[in-house]
Amino acid sequence: WILFESIYSPLFIFAPPLFLMQRPLPPMLSLREVLRVCQVTHPTKLNHRFILHEHVNADLAKSMSVEQKVVVEIGPAVGGLTRACLQANARQVIAVESNKVFLPTLTVLKSRDNQLEAPFVPIIADPPELNYLEVLRKNSPHLKPMEWENETEQPPVVVAINAPMGPCLKMLDLCIANVAKKTGFYHYGRTPVYLMLPTIIAERVMSRPGVRKFNGLSVLVQNYFQVERIRKMQKGNFVPEPTTGTAWIRLTPHISPLSDCHFLALKQFCHMVFTGKRKMLRTVLMQSGRSADWVQQFCEEHRVSDTIRAEGLPIGAIGALAQAWDKVKHSGRCGAPDEVDTRTEYDW
């Protein structure tokens, strides 16, 4: 008895109470279990591609550096990446899912909650319609804003987007709008955003001027973000398997945008010069009712040839042209009729 007391008594004295011990996550559901819980017969009926391989999700969470950060996950589906972030010691995961059939698979993770702050908050809502600043203030009141110019410390929030194509592109639009106004995720600093995109879209986002794939989306994203491809995903990683390749990319906000042009004016100008057959600037601008001489003078003022196509211009030059064109459009210059500025919040 003396020997037993000398060995095991310290363990009982210093052992933490059971309610403070972190409960392990429940086991990951198999595909068959996911179909049964979601009450569907085939993965394609879920309208969402998700990853069940735990090692792949763990690699994605590691690439995001989520330790002690608040993770906002858009499109968690069955919660594979959610689980990986919790296992990587994320301080909190706020998962926004639009498809209610995934709610049973997400509520399973609520068993990890503690008494102080729920590390996992599932929200069923349309992701592009949420006010993420209000969501973070409500669920993560401990967060404090960081200086935008701070490059020594990492922002306390990380965003991961793995949603179907439509909501994913709308979330990309929302990111552009919010980073321009430093609101939403970006209220807390230069928050990195990770997106799962089809390779063809990812290449457009990353394309540089002078390349055929360079388009308006390239301009809008790169004007505000540094774009990096973190990982090329394999088709077999997803359920159901996609028909095209997929890339995991990171968007890190610039300290200052490449152009100070209003993001709506930049978007409208890019839509005008990149849509269709991508004609020369002279042809595109003349379609708005301006004369050839006026267009030539306008381009000369901004040191741009009127015979160049938009994909041959650097992003800064496109931004300067868009800003000048926006002023012309709303000032009635050169006899053009005055137009009412109907710009409101960012909206497709």
Burial environment of residue 293 by CB neighbours within 10 A (0 to 12, 13 to 18, 19 or more) = exposed
| Cα(162)–Cα(120) distance, integer angstroms | 17
Q: Which uninterrupted H or E stretch holds 329?
A: helix 315-329
Question: In the structure, what pLDDT confidence band is assigned to residue 25 with cuts at 50, 70 and 90?
Answer: confident
Q: What is the pLDDT of residues 262-298, one digit of tens each?
A: 999 999 999 999 987 767 899 999 988 889 999 999 9
Q: What percent of the chain has pLDDT over 90?
A: 65
User: E strands of 246-300, at which residues?
Assistant: 246-253
Residue keyed to tokens 């990770």: 194
Residue 30 has pLDDT above 70, yes or no: yes
Backbone angles phi, psi at 312, to 5 degrees: -90, 0
Task: Quote the pLDDT of residue 9.
Answer: 45
How confident is the prediction for the chain on average, in pLDDT? Answer: 85
- Which tens digits make up the pLDDT trace of 98-131? 999 998 888 877 655 543 356 889 999 999 999 9
Residue 44 DSSP one-character state: G
CA neighbours within 13 Å on the CB side: how many for 207?
Answer: 22
Q: What is the pLDDT of residues 78-105, one digit of tens each?
A: 999 999 999 999 999 999 999 999 988 8
Task: State pTM to two decimals.
Answer: 0.86
pLDDT at 337 over 50: no
